[in-house]
């Protein structure tokens, strides 16, 4: 008889993730500043940036307000209700980030009220039986940090470690899992190669330098956190891409190798000896087909066989399996710290989650030590330079009334969380 369900390991963690700037509202950091300066431009550029079907479906992308995070989901004030929903949906873990600019609005001065706020956030999770995974840096910085040169400032590392020390000392009894950085490689690439986010420069050398600083900072943060709490579980979340060559032609294989080296190898292998777990974000599969005659379109990202999300990103569930098999070489527990889809109508989300879980389960069955899954995201939220129009949430947010509405797919995911198994 064929199996009717796939059981996940005992104690598997099930939940969703958010980040402070994307959901809290009312922030005052380097991104807030950048949004103000760039909202008009982003609204104007939408007609060149997005495909026709996206422009027709999501016309908010042409409005300036789309690009201003503003009050976002007002999660800062509504976290208890939001965690009630997470609990109702049977989540037993939740990933969120602490906003550095709230904690240290002026260099060296910590705001005790804001520390208390996050104490309440952690307490609210614990009271609902939800294990907090706390991210210490999810893309945003206090303005003073960015204005004096960001990560390229000679004291960047020490400054960040000072913040880490404060937070971990405060919450060491309440938090077991620390995610020091979210996607350092993405930040270096967007900021210094693609020039689409802060500080919008184009310098591969600077990108590599910033990456080196991220590696050094993370390594020191790992030791620092353990010196404060030896039982702490310390890691990071990095987004890895499933690269594939379109055929066996040597130039495609070479480009694949190069991209893999840049996207997947700049951080993880350099910190692998200092991680208690590996946090994996998965969004992209990339099929390389190099064509030197087609100007910048020299590699093909996907063939859309399995459809795309509202972002136009290919849906490719098998990719998570291939990445998991690769990173199992580090012999560390793995948490999938982000994996989700922008799907406003909630037509594809249920299948998306189930198909990915199928492949995650296959990796587990073959011996990969995956211990948890965080859907991205609990709520619709502010998708950085794309603004509010892409909707990743299990829970829909009406940005006018701030009302929350649970999507049908969230109920399906809730059954999986409750039973710790995926019905086939």
Name the residues that contact ligand BGC, by CB under 6 A: 19, 22, 182-183, 186, 239, 281, 283, 338, 376, 383
Kindly state the smallest distance separating residue 279's Cβ from ligand BGC, in Å.
Answer: 10
Can you say whether the dihedral through the CA atoms of 163, 168, 174, 179 is positive or negative?
Answer: positive
Name every residue whose Cβ is closer than 8 Å to that of residue 103 and which is 6 or more positions away in sequence. Answer: 110, 111, 114, 115, 118, 163, 166, 167
Q: Which is nearer to ligand BGC, 132 or 252 (CB)?
A: 132
Min CB(283)–ligand BGC separation in Å: 6
Write down the least CB distance from residue 376 to ligand BGC, Å.
6
CB of 22 to ligand BGC, least distance (A): 6
Give the C-alpha separation, 149 to 140, whole Å.
14
CB-nearer residue toward ligand BGC: 376 or 388: 376
Q: CB 187 → ligand BGC: shortest distance, Å? A: 10
Q: Choose between 35 and 183: whose C-beta lies nearer to ligand BGC.
A: 183
Nearer of residues 224 and 378 to ligand BGC, judged by Cβ: 378
Kindly tell me the burial class for residue 52, based on how many C-beta atoms sit within 10 Å of its own C-beta (0-12, 13-18, 19 or more): exposed
Give me the least distance between CB of 189 and ligand BGC, in Å please.
11
Query: CB 78 → ligand BGC: shortest distance, Å?
Result: 19
Here the tokens at position 396 are 């829909």
Please, what is the minimum distance in Å from the beta carbon of residue 344 to ligand BGC? 14
Cβ proximity to ligand BGC, 84 vs 383, nearer residue: 383
Pick 384 or 413: Cβ nearer ligand BGC: 384
260 Cβ partners below 8 Å, 6+ apart? 241, 243
Cβ proximity to ligand BGC, 376 vs 389, nearer residue: 376
Nearest distance, CB of residue 1 and ligand BGC, angstroms: 40
Q: How many CB atoms within 10 Å of residue 400?
A: 6
Strand partners, 235: 179
C-alpha radius of gyration, the chain, whole number: 21
Closest listed residue to residue 182, CA positions, set 67, 99, 92, 76: 99
Nearer to ligand BGC, 278 or 422 (CB): 278
Q: Which is nearer to ligand BGC, 285 or 289 (CB)?
A: 285
């Amino acid at each position: 008889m064929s199996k009717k369900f796939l059981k996940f390991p005992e104690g598997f963690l099930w939940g969703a993730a958010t980040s402070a700037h994307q959901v809290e509202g009312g922030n005052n950091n380097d991104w807030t500043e950048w949004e103000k300066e760039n909202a008009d431009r982003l609204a104007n550029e939408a007609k060149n940036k997005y495909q026709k079907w996206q422009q027709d479906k999501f016309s908010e992308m042409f409005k300036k307000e789309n690009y201003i995070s503003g009050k976002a989901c007002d999660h800062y004030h509504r976290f208890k209700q939001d965690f009630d929903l997470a609990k109702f949906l049977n989540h037993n873990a939740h990933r969120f980030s602490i906003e550095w600019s709230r904690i240290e609005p002026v260099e060296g001065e910590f705001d005790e009220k804001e520390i208390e706020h996050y104490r309440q956030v952690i307490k609210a999770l614990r009271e609902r039986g939800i294990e907090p995974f706390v991210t210490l840096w999810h893309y945003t910085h206090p303005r003073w940090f960015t204005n004096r040169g960001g990560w390229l400032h000679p004291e960047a590392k020490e400054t960040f470690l000072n913040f880490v020390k404060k937070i971990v000392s405060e919450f060491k009894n309440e938090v077991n899992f620390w995610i020091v950085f979210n996607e350092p490689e993405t930040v270096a690439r967007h900021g210094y190669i693609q020039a689409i986010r802060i500080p919008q420069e184009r310098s591969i050398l600077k990108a590599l330098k910033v990456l080196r600083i991220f590696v050094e900072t993370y390594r020191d943060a790992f030791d620092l956190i353990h010196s404060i709490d030896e039982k702490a579980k310390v890691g990071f979340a990095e987004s890895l891409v499933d690269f594939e060559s379109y055929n066996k032609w040597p130039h495609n294989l070479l480009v694949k190798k190069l991209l893999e080296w840049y996207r997947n190898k700049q951080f993880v292998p350099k910190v692998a000896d200092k991680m208690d777990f590996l946090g994996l974000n998965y969004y992209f599969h990339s099929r390389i087909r190099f064509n030197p005659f087609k100007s910048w379109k020299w590699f093909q990202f996907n063939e859309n066989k399995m459809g795309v999300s509202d972002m136009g990103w290919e849906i490719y569930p098998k990719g998570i399996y291939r990445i998991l098999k690769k990173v199992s070489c580090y012999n560390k527990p793995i948490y999938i710290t982000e994996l989700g889809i922008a799907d406003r109508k909630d037509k594809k989300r249920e299948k998306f989650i189930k198909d990915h879980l199928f492949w995650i389960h296959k990796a587990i069955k073959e011996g990969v030590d995956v211990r948890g899954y965080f859907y991205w995201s609990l709520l619709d939220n502010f998708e950085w330079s794309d603004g509010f129009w892409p909707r990743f949430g299990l829970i829909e947010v009406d940005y006018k009334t701030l009302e929350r509405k649970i999507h049908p797919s969230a109920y399906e995911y809730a059954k999986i969380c409750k039973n710790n198994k995926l019905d086939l």
